[in-house]
Structure 1
Amino acid sequence: MRRVILPICLMLGACMPGTSADMPSRAATHDQSTMPAMKRFSAPRPVPPRRSNRDIQRDFLELSFQLESGRPLQHFSRFEQPISIRVTGSPPPTLIPDLNRLVHRLRTEAGIDVARVRSDTANITVEAVPRSEIRRHLPQAACFVVPNISRLSQYRKARHSRITNWSLLKKREKLAVFIPNDSSPQEVRDCLHEELAQAIGPLNDLYRLPDSVFNDDNVHTVLTGFDMLILRAYYSPELHSGMTRAQVARRLPAILSRLNPAGDKIAPRYASSTPRAWIRNIQTALGPGARSAQRRTTAREALRIAEAVGWTDHRRAFSHFALGRLTQSTDPDFAQDQFVIAEQFYKRTPGTTLHRAYTASQLAAYAIAQGRGEDALMLLTPYLSTAERHENAALLATLMMLRAEALELTGRVAEARSVRLDSLGWARYGFGADWAVRAKLRDISALSPLKGPNG
C-alpha cells in the first residue's frame, strides 16, 4: 500500500495571519460561481535518471526483494504474459483518460506489453470505490493493491490468508487495485501511477530515492524517468519469475548497461540505507492519527536521527521540511528557519528540483505574509515550469495563487488577476471540487497583508 503520508507540502494554512473566515479575500469578493474548465497536462516530459548504474543496481535489488515493512522476499515475481487491465466500480470521469495515458507510457517508455480491456478475465482489476470503503479496510491508506483477488468485498476474508501474502508470490497472474472515486482527479491519478507500478513491478519503497514514486515521501506523484527504467529492466527478457536475488544480481549489470549506457559513466554515490527508526518517526509525524504535539515530537526525533546518521541529502532536507511544516502554527520564525535549511540541503542534492519547488512555496508564503512581494516572486518564478513538467497540478495551482498575491503586493494588479484566473483550471484538477478550490484561494489570499482588516 502507498500514499500513507499526508500531502503536507501544499497545506499553507498555518502561515496565515488569521483565520480565513475573518479575512476578506479575492474569492469572497469576486464571482467564482462559474469556474473555468479543468486543465490537463499534455505530452509527458519525464527526466532521465542521472545516476550511476551501480547505484541503480542496488536500488533495483532492494526494491524488488524486500517489502515496505523490511521483510525480505525470496523470489522475483512479475507477469509472464501480456498484462490486461480492466476498470470496475464507479470510476470518476477523469480515471479512464488518465489510465489510458498511463498505459501508453508503460508501453512506450517501459516497453511492457500492457493494454486496457473490458473482459472480466483481466490480470489487473482497478476498482473505483468511495474513500470510506478503502479506509474501512485500511484506515491509513488512500489506495492499495492486493494479489489474487478482484473485488474489495473479497479483501476482508482473504486479508490474512496465503493468497494475499506477497512474500509467497512467485508469479503474478491476478491482482486488484483499489482507487478512491471521490477524491480529486490528481489524487486518483497519483494512486493509479503508484499502485499500478507496484502491481506490475517492485513492491518496496526507498526513502533514499530522490527521483521516484517508489518513495513514501509522496514528492513525485507520476512515474519518473528512473521509474520507467526500473520497470523496463523488471521486464527485460533476461529475467523471469522465481529467480533468486543472487540470480537477478548477476544479470543486472548487463541489463542496465544495455538500457542505460550513460549510467556506466557516472560515479556511484553509495547513499546509506534509511534506519527504520527514522521511517517510523516520519510516518508518525506526517501520517494520520497522531496529535499535534506528538507529530512535532516525532518530527524532531526524525531530524535528530538524520543529524546523527550524518545525512546531507534529500532525507536530511525532508526532515527539516517536515519539522518546519509542523511548527508553523506554534513558531513561524522557527519554521521559516527549517525551510531555509531544507532548501540548503536540497540545493546540494542532484535530482531535487521538485522538492525545492515545495520548499519555495513555503518560503514564498512567509514572504507574502510579511509583505515582501518581490522576494516571493523571485522564489516562485523558477518553479512554475518544474511543477508543470512533473504534472503536479495542485502544486502548480498553489504556486500560481501565491504568485498572484505577490504580484498584487508589487502593484501589478491586472497581471495578478490574470494569473489567479489561470490557476483555477489547474486547481480544479489538483484539488477537485469547486469548494476545495475556493478554500485554497481563501487560504492563500489571507496570507497577504493587503487582505487584512485594514487592507
Structure 2
Amino acid sequence: MSAAALGAILLPCTAFADLPAIAQRQRGEKKTFTDNEITEGFLKIAFGAEYHLAGRVDRIRKYDGPVRVFADGSRADRKTQLAKIVADIAARVQHLDIAMAGSSEDANVQVKLVRDRDLHRTIATFYGSERAREIRSSLDPQCLSGFRKNEKFEIEHSDVILTVDNGDFVFFDCAYEELLQSLGPINDTASVPWTMFNDNVSMGYFDVYDQYLLNLLYDPRIKPGMTVQEVKALLPDVLTDVRAWVRKVNNLP
C-alpha cells in the first residue's frame, strides 16, 4: 500500500489471478452498475438469511469493531492462501479492520479447515446432528458459515467451515464467499446475477459488485440494528463515497 503515500491505491485484481478459472471469470466481469442495481442487491443480501436458525433477520448485522481471523487445520498451504484472502478483503473494504489472529483466543472469526469427507461430521459438531441433517438437505454445502449476534445486532463471533481437498478454485470460491458472509451479508439470492451471494454464481475472487456491497455495509453510517427504511434513507450519500473508493482500489474509469 506504499502507493497510498502518492495519493493512489493500486491493487492487483485478485490474490489468485494466475488461476485459469479465476482469470477467465475476471475477463468477463461486469464492472459498471447503476445505483439501483447496487442498492437492490445490497438490500437483498444485507437483510434476511439463506438458512435461518434463530433471531430476527430484518435488521443490519455487522461487526462493530476489529475482526480477527484464525485458521484451524493441518494444511499450511491453505492457511497461507486464507491469509492472502483476508488481506485482500482488508485492502478492498475501506472501513473494515480485518486481519489474521495469532491464536484462536484472539480471534472472533474461527475458520475450520477440513477434508471433504469430514465436512458433514464437522457441521454436526457445530450445530448438532439434527440441525446438520437439515443443513445438508436444504443447502448441500461444500462450505458453510454462520455468526452469533447480540441484542444490538452486532456480530460477536463467526464460524466458517472450508474444505481443503476439492481443488484450488473451490477453496478460493468458498473462502471468499463464506468469510464475507460471516461479516454480515448472510442472505443468498438468485435474483442478482453479479454477486457471489447467489448459489448459481462462482467467482473465486472478490469481484467489484460485491466490493460495493461490503463497503456499503461497513460504512460507519450504516449501523447494526438499522431497518430497511433507515438504511434506504442513507444509501444515496453512502453510495457516493463507496463509488469513489471502489473506483480507486480497482482503477476503474
Q: Given the two structures, how large is their TM-score scaled by the length of structure 1?
A: 0.41
1:233 counterpart SS class: helix
**Post-superposition offset of 1:167:** 11
Q: 1:70 to 1:207 in 2, by over 3 A?
A: farther
Structure with greater Cα Rg: 1
Q: 1:210 to 1:99 in 2, by over 3 A?
A: same
Structure 1 residues 354-413: Cα deviation after superposition (integer angstroms, max 9, x where no partner): xxxxxxxxxxxxxxxxxxxxxxxxxxxxxxxxxxxxxxxxxxxxxxxxxxxxxxxxxxxx
**Post-superposition offset of 1:110:** 1.5
1:260 counterpart SS class: helix
Counterpart residue identity of residue 70, structure 2: R
Counterpart residue identity of residue 155, structure 2: R
Match of 1:87 in 2: 71
Match of 1:41 in 2: 17
Contact 1:212 1:223 in 2 (8 A): no
Structure 1 residues 333-356: Cα deviation after superposition (integer angstroms, max 9, x where no partner): xxxxxxxxxxxxxxxxxxxxxxxx
**Post-superposition offset of 1:146:** 2.3
Match of 1:259 in 2: 242
**Separation in 2, partners of 1:214, 1:223:** 11
Contact 2:153 2:224 in 1 (8 A): yes
**Separation in 1, partners of 2:48, 2:242:** 23
List aligned pairs for 1:15-54, cutoff 5 A.
Answer: 41-42=17-18, 47=29, 49-54=31-36
Match of 2:4 in 1: none
Counterpart residue identity of residue 145, structure 1: S
Contact 2:30 2:194 in 1 (8 A): no
Counterpart residue identity of residue 255, structure 1: V
Q: How many residue pairs were aligned?
A: 206
- Determine whether 1:147 maps to 2:147: yes
**Separation in 2, partners of 1:100, 1:79:** 19
- Determine whether 1:218 maps to 2:201: yes
The unaligned stretches of length 5 or more in structure 2 are 1-15, 125-131, 247-253
**Separation in 2, partners of 1:206, 1:118:** 35
Structure 1 residues 71-122: Cα deviation after superposition (integer angstroms, max 9, x where no partner): 97221110111110011132x2431232122122212212221101122230
User: Greater share of helix residues, 1 or 2?
Assistant: 1
**Post-superposition offset of 1:249:** 1.3
**Post-superposition offset of 1:200:** 1.1
Identity, % of aligned pairs?
Answer: 23
List aligned pairs for 1:302-341, cutoff 5 A.
Answer: none
Match of 1:106 in 2: 89
Structure 1 residues 108-141: Cα deviation after superposition (integer angstroms, max 9, x where no partner): 2122211011222301011112222322334321
Structure 1 residues 281-308: Cα deviation after superposition (integer angstroms, max 9, x where no partner): xxxxxxxxxxxxxxxxxxxxxxxxxxxx
Counterpart residue identity of residue 126, structure 1: V
Match of 2:119 in 1: 134
- Determine whether 1:180 maps to 2:156: no
Match of 1:68 in 2: 50
Contact 2:173 2:202 in 1 (8 A): no
1:94 counterpart SS class: helix
Contact 1:49 1:226 in 2 (8 A): yes
Match of 1:352 in 2: none
The unaligned stretches of length 5 or more in structure 1 are 1-39, 149-165, 264-455
Higher relative contact order (CA 8 A, sep 6+): 2
Contact 1:135 1:142 in 2 (8 A): no
